[in-house]
Amino acid sequence: MSSRIILVRHGESEGNAAGVLQGRLDFALSELGRRQAGLTAERLAKSGAYQVISSPLLRASATAALVAERLGLTLRLDPDLAEYDIGDASGLSPAELRDRFPEVIQARAAGQRLRFPGEEGRDTFQRRLELILARMAGAEGTTIAVAHGGVISAMCHMVVGLDVNRPGAFQVGNCSLTELRPDRAGSLVIHRHNDTCHLAEIATFADRG
């Protein structure tokens, strides 16, 4: 039996609802996020997964806890699934970001990757995602990994060979499912992306970071 990876973005968080950049700040799920997580747990009930792993950040681990409970599995936290650390930009709205760091915003608009103070760095981010992807791809059976929009988007970029700094190529909605499987040569490919069919009965919103 080959590996199968189901990437789940966490449910809507209080930070999502407030429209701020979260990074490593630890926001809880909103009421909508808890409903999304419950529906996602039901959707994955027959996935046949043998393990559920999650980012340790609360918005992800609370989502994953519902999934693991529904599947009768023990949740395991993995720090390599944590969201990209945007440093001092964490907790700011887009307007606040422009006011506080105009030089960074201007540089990025010009195609330059100037860092926010305290930012993790994209090379470091990519290396840790390569490690967790390799571990999941090397496991037999189905792994459910609950993470963040930035993490899942970057993994998709890596799988198809795009630069992880390229914005907008993969949008990842709250509690969406993205599935990776190996092809005949053993390389991971995207089997489905941003699947939110299980959320059709409730109102959902575009990804806000």
Which one of the listed residues 12, 83, 119, 120 is annotated catalytic? Answer: 83
Q: Does an H or E element contain 26, and which? A: none
Q: How many residues does the chain have?
A: 209
> Who's near 167: CB < 8 A, 6+ residues apart?
none
Cβ distance 130 to 158 under 8 Å? Answer: yes
> Is 198 designated active site?
no
> Is 10 designated active site?
yes
> Who's near 13: CB < 8 A, 6+ residues apart?
22, 27, 28, 29, 30, 33, 59
Give dist(CA 181, CA 183) in Å, integer: 7
Query: CA of 171: how far to CAs of 72, 193, 207, in Å?
Result: 30, 9, 7
Give dist(CA 91, CA 35) in Å, integer: 24
Cβ distance 143 to 136 under 8 Å? Answer: yes
Cβ distance 191 to 33 under 8 Å? Answer: no
Residues designated as active site: 10, 83
